[in-house]
């Protein structure tokens, strides 16, 4: 049977990808952050699952106001890096896993989670930057990927609790997949940041620390946060943190924290990453 082994949370700031793509990671602005990536990458090098479910959001790239879904599963054979306005990132094509993706869709819908489905979807920095953070610059990505796209831009987003419950339903689906494969799950986005408005640049390390601590020891506490709690305390774009709840919901009740990284600033954000293993 399939086995869900570990989860990662990470921000997906486009600047991180741009710094790598343009060879700027040794510059003083980036050096400390990329130094912090070294242990994270070492862990990933030793723990490559057959398939990784990446929970992320599209940023007005492949979805827009004319069509968007609250939760959408990518079932294609492969996904191209998207042109987000400055040409596609020169990173490998993302290989999908349609068999597990369709199993997830079937299982989740019968489990009352009505997923939208796409077979035609270019993936933006929300997905490719976490890949670059974990795997650096390989010729081929070492893991197959199932993109799970969450609307975090158009209000109302799904609730923090709904995201956690979706993670639990994903776990039930993975546990019932008959092939002997390993599966990882990543929640991306965050941590505290606000990009738009007169308050742009607001960050909240205390809130971020509470969220990360809860993620390890008391994940249900993070499901009680309202949309306005996130907007007020973590910035309008900090609401992306609900996607980490999907990841956490899919893990065991008790997890082992393997690595944590927190750094201000990355562009206008507080960067965070955490690796959690099932016991």
Partner 1 sequence: MISRDYDDVPGTYVLDSRSYRKGYHLNMFCMSLNKAECREEFARDEMAYLQKFPMTDEQRQAVLDRDYIRLLQLGANVYYTFKIVSHDRQPPQVMYGKMSSPPMSFEEFQEMMINGGRPIDGNRSKKESGNG
Residues identified as active-site: 125, 193
Cβ burial of 47 (10 Å; 0-12, 13-18, 19+) is middle
Beta carbon of residue 210, minimum distance to partner 1 (angstroms, whole number) = 12
* 187 or 235: CB nearest partner 1: 235
Nearest to 43 by CA among 8, 84, 81, 86: 8
Beta carbon of residue 203, minimum distance to partner 1 (angstroms, whole number) = 4
Cβ atoms of 238 and 193 closer than 8 Å: yes
**Helix/strand/coil for 146:** strand
* 176 or 226: CB nearest partner 1: 226
**Helix/strand/coil for 4:** strand
Using CA atoms, how far apart are residues 250 and 154, in angstroms rounded to an integer?
25
Beta carbon of residue 81, minimum distance to partner 1 (angstroms, whole number) = 13
The residue ranges that bind partner 1 (CB under 8 A) are 15, 29, 59-61, 64-66, 82-87, 153-156, 192, 194-204, 206-207, 227-228, 231-233, 236-237, 264-265, 267-268, 270
Cβ atoms of 78 and 93 closer than 8 Å: yes
Beta carbon of residue 200, minimum distance to partner 1 (angstroms, whole number) = 4
Instruction: Give the strand pairing for 144-150 and 116-118.
Output: unpaired
Nearest to 199 by CA among 226, 238, 166: 238
């Amino acid at each position: 049977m399939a086995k869900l082994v570990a989860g990662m949370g990470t921000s997906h700031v486009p600047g991180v990808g741009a710094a790598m793509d343009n060879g700027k990671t040794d510059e003083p602005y980036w050096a400390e952050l990329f130094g912090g990536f070294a242990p994270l990458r070492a862990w990933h090098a030793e723990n490559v699952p057959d398939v990784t479910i990446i929970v992320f959001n599209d940023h007005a790239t492949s979805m827009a106001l004319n069509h968007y879904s609250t939760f959408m599963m990518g079932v294609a054979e492969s996904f191209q890096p998207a042109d987000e306005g400055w040409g596609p990132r020169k990173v490998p094509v993302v290989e999908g896993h349609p068999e597990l993706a369709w199993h997830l869709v079937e299982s989740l819908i019968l489990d009352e989670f009505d997923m939208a489905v796409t077979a035609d979807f270019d993936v933006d920095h929300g997905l490719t930057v976490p890949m670059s953070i974990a795997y650096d610059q390989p010729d081929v990505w070492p893991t197959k990927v199932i993109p799970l796209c969450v609307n975090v831009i158009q209000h109302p987003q799904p609730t923090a609790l709904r995201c956690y419950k979706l993670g639990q339903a994903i776990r039930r689906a993975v546990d019932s997949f008959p092939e002997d494969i390993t599966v990882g799950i990543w929640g991306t986005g965050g941590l505290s940041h606000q990009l738009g408005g007169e308050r742009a640049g607001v960050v909240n390390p205390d809130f971020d620390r509470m969220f990360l601590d809860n993620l390890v020891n008391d994940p249900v506490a993070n499901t009680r946060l309202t949309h306005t709690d996130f907007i007020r305390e973590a910035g309008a774009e900090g609401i992306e943190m609900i996607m980490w709840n999907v990841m956490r919901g899919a893990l065991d009740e008790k997890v082992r924290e393997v690595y944590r990284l927190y750094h201000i600033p990355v562009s206008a954000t507080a960067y965070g990453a955490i690796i959690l293993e099932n016991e």
